Amino acid sequence: MEFSRTVKIAPSILSADFANFGAECRAIEDQGADWVHVDVMDGHFVPNLTFGPAMCAALRPHIRGVMDVHLMISPVDAYLEAYAKAGADVISAHLESGPHVHRTLQAIRGLGCKAGLAINPGTGIEAVPYLLDMVDVICVMTVNPGFGGQKLIESAYDKIRALRAMIGDRPVHIEIDGGVTVENAGALVAAGADVLVAGSTVFKGGSVDRPQVYGANIAALRAAAEG
Ligand code: DX5
Ligand code: ZN
């Protein structure tokens, strides 16, 4: 994974057809997705349940590019190796997932993956300066995690700007997760984001039989983000 701050669109397969994930991953990549975002939920850290490591391993051959695994799991450390072995390129763990996030990030890098730090809307960023040399991606949650299709929480903009200033010229991505739309993509990138996760905005109106809708949705997001 070469570092670049150009805009990357990362569709969340939480909004895909759950009976057809392989084809959905191929379709979004064919239609211009840069990363494929996989939302792992444990029914404890967040009030929903989704994908285990076997699911990610099964998806891996259907993803040519970056498999971006967002772990909404607590405690998380015991599961890192399984998701790395499943073929994740990026593994993000939550700042709130336990008291030893520094160790968690170290472990992710030790497994050969890029390390992501996800931060909930209600969590401050005072700890980030102490973690900056351990992270490759900061995933700013712009909704409370658990479900797709929620509205972006506006207080996130100040947080994104503050993180962008903290990062300086370090090769650290700012990823935005939750409520990303064509209307707010430009403002998010202007604030400092370079990876836009989008579930409902990308999958809305499309299907594996009508993949050009995904293409149009991704193109509209990219145009708004770059404009
Ligand atoms: C929320 C997930 C997000 C979400 C994004 O818990 O982490 O990735 O699915 O979905 P939209 O874009 O619909 O808000
Ligand atoms: Zn996510």
For 206-224, write each residue's pLDDT tens digit. 999 999 999 999 999 999 9
Name the residue with the closest Cα to ligand 1, atom 4.
148
| Share of residues in the chain with pLDDT > 70 (%) | 100
What is the per-residue pLDDT for 74? 98
Task: Return d(Cα 197, Cα 36) in angstroms, integer.
Answer: 9
The Cα–Cα gap between 198 and 178 comes to 7
Q: What amino acid is encoded at 183 in this protein?
A: E
Tell me: the pLDDT tens digits for 61-77?
Answer: 999 999 999 999 999 99
**Burial 51-89, CB ≥16 within 10 A → b, else e:** bebeebeebeebbebbbbbbbbbeebbebbeebbebbbb
Q: Is the pLDDT of residue 39 over 90?
A: yes
The SS3 assignment for 227 reads coil
pLDDT band of residue 163 (cuts 50, 70, 90) is very high
Confidence bin at 15 (pLDDT 50/70/90):
very high
State yes or no: pLDDT of 1 exceeds 90: no
Can you tell me the distance from the alpha carbon of 113 to that of 135, in angstroms, rounded to the nearest whole number? 11
Q: Check residue 38 and give its pLDDT.
A: 98
Q: Which ligand is nearest to the CA of 202?
A: 1
At residue 45, does pLDDT exceed 90? yes
Ligand 1 pocket, residue 179 CB under 6 Å: yes
- My answer on whether omega of the bond before 75 falls inside 30° of 0, hence cis, is yes
Rounded Cα distance between 166 and 126, Å, is 10
What pLDDT, on the 0 to 100 scale, is given for residue 118? 99
What's this model's pTM, rounded to 2 decimal places?
A: 0.98
pLDDT of residue 65: 98
Question: What is residue 205's DSSP assignment?
Answer: T
Q: Whose CA is nearest to atom 1 of ligand 1?
A: 145
CA–centroid distance, 1 to ligand 1, in Å, is: 23
Q: What was the pLDDT predicted at 189?
A: 98
Active site members: 39, 177
